[in-house]
Structure 1
Amino acid sequence: MTGIPERWPALLVPGLTGSKEDFIAIMEPLALAGRRVVAIDMRGQFETLGPEDPTAYTCAALGEDVDELAAMVGEGGPVHLVGHSFGGLVSREAVIDGRTKFASFTLMDAGPAAIVGKREEAVRTIIKELPDLGVEHIWSSRFEADALGAGVPDEIVSFLRKRLLSNSLTALTVMAEEVLSAYDRTDELAQIGVPTLVLYGERDDGWPPHLQAEMAHRLDADCVVVPGAMHSPAVEAPATTAAALTRFWNEAESRFRTL
């Protein structure tokens, strides 16, 4: 964007096998609304290095990273936080721990507890095969076939391969275990009082849409269902997703300023 950001900044956290690039399609429209928007790789993901210590990749440990990044992005002021899929579980830790004053929190295609359904099966396969067969096997046996079957352009397929193979093996394994064992912290999150949005694709194959709708009700949160989208609305329906986030963020800022 050009000029000086007039509104509070935002921090975007990707999912288990994702990266900052998952948000590319929404970055410009979000920034044009007058705010600084920062998307990250979590430690051990793609272009961000991480240690071999497995404890560095729990939701709690990664949530501490989110706290520190939010402090830098917001320079001590309020920050809008978005967590996609597993990134939602990580970001939830940062909101609940209370170390950072968040302007708002968005759970994007992230459920109340451990992932279920089709993506649960995929994660279990990763944990089972990763130690003996390696990341290259996971790519060629599952991710590549899914990408080609979806008609993803060759240059994007090449990027997806490079990204997956760049992940720390330790990080990928522990994060996969975390997304399968996460417990429901919805009631704790509801007590924090941070304006919350639950946003998901109408055909999400991660957490079933009805579970996310129930979570939104329990949180007394705003809820946006993105038509036609599956598990990655920022990629599959960027205009709708960016518009929903901008509207929610503007409303959240208005609430803060009238307190």
Structure 2
Amino acid sequence: MSQLLTLEVPDNARPVRMRTERGVFAALDVAPHGHVPAWATALLVPGFMGSKEDFLPLLPLLSGKGVRVLAIDGRGQYETGSASPEPSYSRDDLARDLISIAGHIGVGPVHLVGHSYGGILARAAVLATEGDPALWASVTFMNFGPAGVSSWQRERLRLLLSVIDSMELADLWPFVKNKEASVPRDVELFLEQRWLRGSREQLSAAAEQMLNEVDRTPRLSRLPLPKSVVSGTPDVTWAPEGVEQMARDLGAGFVRIEGGGHSPNVHRPAETASALVEFWLSCQRQRPSDQWEPTIATKS
């Protein structure tokens, strides 16, 4: 489950409704501070049970470095809802949503970032377009592994799937909420409302995809698109050794963020933003991306 500790929205964040050929998507559009022109644009895709708010701690840090950021609610999530009549929540259809959104932004290629389940969709979008450099400047996978989730997470997802069609979402909330995290009361209420506004069909489809996703690393590795992997630790959603091996096999940059947990964007936003900006700058400088060099960002 995506985590959240604050609802503080930067002053330069603008809620928008993006009307695309695939439907209408809710997003936060964050321009760089002041009148500095953006040198890069990033599209942030949330994970399972997540939303654009998962990236709130990153937004001022990235925009402060001259990056325009769009954090979205995917189809079936929070304020986006179904997005269009007769929605489909298949992996490939949700990937087509990302492709449409990237084209709608209209500023040239974007740096795509997929967190957790969002990594499945980001990878599918890149593969569906063969890494089209007109759409994608790079792709980053944050706390996402090469195939299905760990055995521990598989048990939780199977349990959810066994009851989601027979129980009300409100009745399920006490069982799915994060009981270990200490969060402010306003955040706790927001997380509950976000869960209640989510799509039951999207949750079921996402759970099935996280259980059954296959390793598509070999095909992705052949694309010349710059790639990076950010891994907060400790995390039990994907096996850490598998995440690191995926980075090697992709020839991707790799950053391990100690203390970041499953959501380094929340628990270690400064280190996460630094890793992203450094990678994006390397793309600007056209550094070769075929050398895997692990980096460890320790907590301050």
Q: Same fold (TM over 0.5)?
A: yes
Distance 1:221 1:198 in 2: 7
Q: Which of 122, 144, 148 in structure 1 is aligned with 2:156?
A: 122
Report which of the two has the higher share of helix.
1
**Matched residue, 1:67:** 99
Distance 2:104 2:276 in 1: 21
Letter paired with 1:238 = P
* Aligned residue in 2 for 1:111: 145
8 Å Cα contact 2:63-2:69 kept in structure 1: yes
For structure 1, the residue ranges without an aligned partner over 5 or more in a row are none
Quote the Cα distance in structure 1 between the aligned partners of 2:79 and 2:252.
33
Partner of 1:153: 184
- What TM-score, normalized to structure 2? 0.80
Aligned residue number for residue 248 of structure 1: 279
Instruction: Tell me, yes or no, if the aligned pair for 2:81 and 2:197 is still in contact at 8 Å.
Output: no
Contact 1:88-1:110 within 8 A present in 2 as well: yes
Runs of 4+ in 1 over 6 A off after TM superposition: none
Q: Name the amino acid aligned to 1:108.
A: M
* Structure 1 residue 131: Cα displacement: 0.6
Aligned partners of 1:134 and 1:119: how far apart in 2?
22
Q: Distance in 2 between matches of 1:119 and 1:156?
A: 24
Which residue among 181, 197, 200 is the counterpart of 2:231?
A: 200
CA distance in 1, matches of 2:193, 2:239: 29
What secondary structure sits across from 2:283 in the alignment?
helix
For 1:48, what is the secondary structure of its paired residue? coil
Alpha carbon RMSD of aligned pairs, Å?
1.7
Q: Distance in 2 between matches of 1:6 and 1:160?
A: 32
Counterpart-to-counterpart distance in 1, 2:227 and 2:208: 26
> Counterparts of 1:212 and 1:246 in 2: how far apart (Å)?
21
Other structure's SS at 1:132 match: coil
SS of the residue corresponding to residue 38 of structure 1 reads strand
Instruction: State, as a whole percentage, how many aligned pairs show the same letter.
Output: 37
1:2 equivalent in structure 2:
34
* 2:60 maps to 1:28: yes
Equivalent position to 1:79, from 102, 110, 133: 110
Pairwise CA distance, 1:118: 2.7
Task: Give the strand-richer structure, 1 or 2.
Answer: 2
Residue 229 (str. 1) matches residue 260 (str. 2): yes
TM-score (norm. length: structure 1): 0.92
Alignment of 1:125-204 (within 5 A): 125-143=159-177, 146-147=178-179, 149-204=180-235
Find 2:72's aligned residue among 40, 45, 49. 40
Matched residues in 2 for 1:85 and 1:52: separation? 27
Higher relative contact order (CA 8 A, sep 6+): 1
Alpha-carbon deviation of 1:35?
1.7
Partner of 1:88: 119
How many residues align? The count is 252
Q: Which runs of 5+ in 2 are unaligned?
A: 1-32, 288-300
Letter in 2 for 1:34: G
Q: SS state of the match for residue 9, structure 1? A: strand
Distance across 1 between alignment mates of 2:107 and 2:67: 16
